[in-house]
Amino acid sequence: MIDVEDLIALVRNYNPRTNADLIRRAYAYGRRMHQGQMRKSGEEYFTHPVAVAAILTEQRLDDSTIITALLHDTIEDTKSTYSDIEREFGTEVAELVDGVTKLTNLQLTSSAAKQSENFRKLFMAMSKDLRVILVKLADRLHNMRTIKWQGPEKQAQKARETMDIFAPLAGRMGMQWMREELEDLAFKVLNAEARASIIRRFITLQKETGEVIPKITTDIRAELDKVQIEADVYGRAKKPYSIWRKMQEKQLAFSRLSDIYGFRIICRDVADCYRILGVIHLRWRAVPGRFKDYISQPKTNGYRSIHTTVSGRDGKRVEVQIRTRQMHEVAEAGVAAHWSYREGVRVQNPFAVDPKQWVARLTERFDEVDQDDFLENMKLEMYNDQVFCFTPKGDVVQLPKGATPIDFAYAIHTRIGHSCVGAKVDGLRVPLWTRLKNGQSVEVITAAGQRPQATWIDIVVTGRAKAAIRRSLREEDRERFVKLGHELARVAFEHVGRRATDKALRTAARTLGLPDENEVLARLGSAELTAREVIEAIYPELAMQAAEEIDANRSVAGLSADQSYRRAMCCQPVPGERIVGITYRGQGVVVHAIDCPALAEFEEQPQRWVDLHWHSGRHAPVYTVSLMLTIANGAGVLGRICTLIGEQKANISDLRFLDRKPDFYRLVVEVDLRDVEHLHLILTALEAETDVAQVERSRDLSRRP
C-alpha cells in the first residue's frame, strides 16, 4: 500500500500548493473507518481507496478529488455518514463522496428498464460534477486490475459491465488510455483464450520481423531532422482487444491485419502538425480513406489530433497521430483536463472543454427519448466515432461513423427527417442507406406527405433518428388501432342491440378512467381492452346476457331440423364472417366463408347452396383457424409468441414448422377462437410483435371437402 507521504509526493509533483495536512487527515480517517475490513486478496481494504487516489494523481487532479478517492467507500461500507464527511472535510468533498456512493449502488447490469433508469441517474450525477465519474472510473480500473481474486461468476459480470459501460464511457470522455486498459482487462476475463492467442502471434511476428517499432520510430525521427522540426516520436503495438475487435469486424485473420502498430508525434504548435503531415506523406504512401483531421474539426470532448495511415517499412501499414503538447494533454486526460493542475494552479489549456457543456451536448436530446429507448441511445452516443458532413450552405453536421442521409436529415430537424424521400451526396443521387464519409456534402430531398418507414429503424444509427422514427410509427400505429377499435366496438355494440356512438364511448372512457373516446378505441384496437370490458362499463346487464355462450352445435342459423353441419377446413369460417352452406350427400352441410375460392366449383350447382348465418351472441372458443407466421430465429421468440396468443385467451391446438432458416422460421399455428373479433385481436397482437416478420391467415384448398 502506498504510504501517505508517498501519495502527497505524487500530488506535489504537479501541485506544490496542495493541502498536505487535509490529505493526511483524509488518509487517516479512511484507514480508521475501514479498519478490520479485508479484500478478497487478503490485503487490508484501505489499499483499494489509496490505489484509486494514486490513479487519479496521474491525471493531475485537484485535492478534493484525491480526498474523495480516499473516502469514496466510507459512507457505503463503514459507519461514517454524509454529515461526518461534511463536518471533517467540507461540503464539496461530502457531495462528491455521496455521488460516488450513489453510483456504486446502481445495478447497471439489471433488466433493461431498470438499467435505463439507472443510466439516467448516472448522467444526472455527471451533470452535477463530472469528478464523481472520474473517481468511479478509477475505482473500476483498480477493481479490474485486481479482479482475479473474485469468483468466476462475479468476474464475468464485472467484465461485461466494464466492456458495455465503463470502457466506452472513458473513451467518450476522451480518456483513451483508460478505455484501452479497461477493455483489455475485461477481454482477459471474457475471452482469455483469444487474448492469449493474439499475444502468442505477436511474439511470433516479432521473432520473424524483428523489433519493428524502434526501426520505424528511427525512420520518422530521421525525416523530421532533415527539415529541422523538433518533436517527440513514440510507437506502440495496439492492445490485444483492439486487434481482436478489428479481426471480428473485418473478418480477417491475424496474418492479414496490417495496421497493428501506432505512432504518435508530439510537436510545438499547430503549424508544425501540418508540416509533419507533409513530411510523412512525402516519405510514405498515404492509405486512401484513412485520414482524419481532428484539429480543424475537434471531437466534442476537446480531442484534437491529425490521424493518417501510411504504408511504412516493408509495406506494413502504420497509423500516425500528430498533435501539439497541449492537445496531447487533453488527449490523455480527456474531459478531466478541465481540472488538471500544474505548479499549484489550474492549467489553462485552450483545448480542454467545460465538462458541464460537454455533458449538456451529450444529453441534449435525451429528454425527447422514451424510457425504453434511452439505454439504446446512450450506448450509441458512447460508442460512436465521428464523421463531419456539410449542408449545401456549408454548415458542418457532426454524425457518428456509419451514419446515413436519413441520420443527416434528422440531425438538421425532425421535420426534415420525417419528410425525407431521397438525398444527393456530392451532387449525385444516392440510396438512403448509403454510409456517409468525412467531408461529403449532403442535400436532403423532401416531399410533403412523406412519413417515416419502419425499415428506417434498421438503416439509421443515431439515437435521435431512431427515437423520432419510433415516435412517428407509434402515432401511425395509434391511428390504425383507433380505426380497428372503431370497427370492433361497432360489432360488439350491435351484438347487444346498441350503437357505438361518441357519447357512449365517452361514457365508457369516464367509467374506465381513460382520457377520451379515442383512447378507448386505441386500446380496444391494440387488444389492451376487450369489447366485453367496454360493454360492461356502460351496460353491465347487457354484457352479462351477451356473455352466455352459444352452443357450438347450434351456432349456425338457416339449417332445417334434420340437417347437420361442419366447418370447411379449406377456409375455416368463424362466427362474425359471412357464410354459405354446400350440401353433400350423406355428409350434411359444409359451411364455407363467402369468399372461399373452393366455392367456384359449385357455381353451376345452385341447388346445393344453403343461405346461412351465425347466431348473434358470445360463442365458445372452439373454432380452429390456421395462422401462418414468419418469425425471427432467436432464443425465446417462439415462447413469447405462444405466450402472446395465450394472453388473448386463445388456445394453440397444433403447431408445425414449414421452413427453418438461420435467421427465420416459417410455421403454421392452429388456434382455437371465438369469432372474427377474436381473430382480429390475435392478428393485431402478433403484427405488433417485433420478432414477427409476417402473419397471415392460412387457407389451404387441398383441405376442401
Task: Please give the average per-residue pLDDT across 377-403, as a whole number.
Answer: 70
Residue 388 has pLDDT above 50, yes or no: yes
Angle 560-565-568 from CA coordinates, rounded to 5°: 140
Instruction: Write the pLDDT tens digit of every residue in 601-618.
Output: 888 888 888 888 888 777
Residue 38 DSSP symbol = B
What is d(CA 635, CA 639) in angstroms, rounded to the nearest whole number? Answer: 9
User: What are the C-alpha distances in Å from 632 to residues 255, 629, 645, 660, 666?
Assistant: 36, 10, 17, 10, 9
Angle 247-253-254 from CA coordinates, rounded to 5°: 80
Q: 404 and 460 in contact (C-beta within 8 Å)?
A: yes
507-541 burial, b for 16+ CB within 10 Å, e for fewer?
A: bbbeebebeebbbbbbbbbbbebbbbbbbbbbbee
Q: 321 and 265 in contact (C-beta within 8 Å)?
A: yes
What is d(CA 250, CA 701) in angstroms, rounded to the nearest whole number? Answer: 49
Q: 67 and 26 in contact (C-beta within 8 Å)?
A: yes
Question: pLDDT above 90 covers what percent of the chain?
Answer: 24
Instruction: Write the pLDDT tens digit of every residue in 510-522.
Output: 888 888 888 888 8
Task: Of 79-88, 342-351, 495-504, 552-561, give the range with the top mean pLDDT.
Answer: 79-88
What is d(CA 18, CA 23) in angstroms, rounded to the nearest whole number? Answer: 9
For the chain, give every residue range classified as CATH 3.30.70.260.
Answer: 623-703
Residue 111 has pLDDT above 70, yes or no: no
* Active site annotation includes 77: yes
Instruction: Write the pLDDT tens digit of every residue in 649-676.
Output: 889 999 998 888 878 888 999 999 988 8
User: Which of the following is catalytic: 76, 88, 184, 533?
Assistant: 76
pLDDT of residue 343: 59
DSSP state letters, 327-343: HHHHHHHGGGGGG-EET
Look at the domain 623-703 and name its fold: Alpha-Beta Plaits (3.30.70)
Instruction: Write the pLDDT tens digit of every residue in 401-431.
Output: 789 999 999 989 989 999 999 999 988 888 8
Q: To the nearest whole number, what is the mean pLDDT of the chain? A: 82
More confident residue, 341 or 321: 321
107-116 burial, b for 16+ CB within 10 Å, e for fewer?
A: ebeeeeeebb
Residue 77 has pLDDT above 70, yes or no: yes
110 pLDDT tier (thresholds 50, 70, 90): very low
What is d(CA 429, CA 483) in angstroms, rounded to the nearest whole number? Answer: 38
What is d(CA 170, CA 182) in angstroms, rounded to the nearest whole number? Answer: 9
Instruction: Write the pLDDT tens digit of every residue in 451-462.
Output: 888 788 888 888
Domain 194-346 top-level CATH class: alpha beta
Question: pLDDT above 70 covers what percent of the chain?
Answer: 86
Residue type for 431, please?
P
Task: Please give the average per-residue pLDDT across 279-293, as a whole number.
Answer: 86
Q: 389 and 442 in contact (C-beta within 8 Å)?
A: yes
Residue 272 has pLDDT above 90, yes or no: yes
Task: Of 107-111, 400-404, 687-691, give the range with the top mean pLDDT.
Answer: 400-404
Residue 112 has pLDDT above 60, yes or no: no
User: Which of the following is catalytic: 44, 77, 164, 376?
Assistant: 77
* Active site annotation includes 76: yes
Instruction: Write the pLDDT tens digit of every residue in 307-320.
Output: 998 886 666 778 89
pLDDT of residue 9: 92
299 pLDDT tier (thresholds 50, 70, 90): confident
Q: 410 and 416 in contact (C-beta within 8 Å)?
A: yes
Instruction: Write the pLDDT tens digit of every residue in 355-371.
Output: 666 666 665 555 555 54
What is d(CA 397, CA 390) in angstroms, rounded to the nearest whole number? Answer: 6
What is d(CA 521, CA 509) in angstroms, rounded to the nearest whole number? Answer: 9
pLDDT of residue 673: 92
253 pLDDT tier (thresholds 50, 70, 90): low
Task: Please give the average per-residue pLDDT across 679-702, as a whole number.
Answer: 84
Look at the domain 4-190 and name its fold: Hypothetical protein af1432 (1.10.3210)
pLDDT of residue 46: 92
Task: Please give the average per-residue pLDDT across 154-175, as a whole number.
Answer: 84
Strand intervals (E) in 373-462: 386-390, 396-400, 420-425, 428-430, 442-446
What is d(CA 66, CA 59) in angstroms, rounded to the nearest whole number? Answer: 10
242 pLDDT tier (thresholds 50, 70, 90): confident
pLDDT of residue 306: 94
β partners of residue 16 = none
Task: Please give the average per-residue pLDDT across 116-134, as a whole number.
Answer: 66
For the chain, give every residue range classified as CATH 1.10.3210.10.
Answer: 4-190
Which pTM does this prediction carry?
0.55
Residue 43 — left, alpha, or beta (φ > 0 → left; ψ -120 to 50 → alpha)?
beta
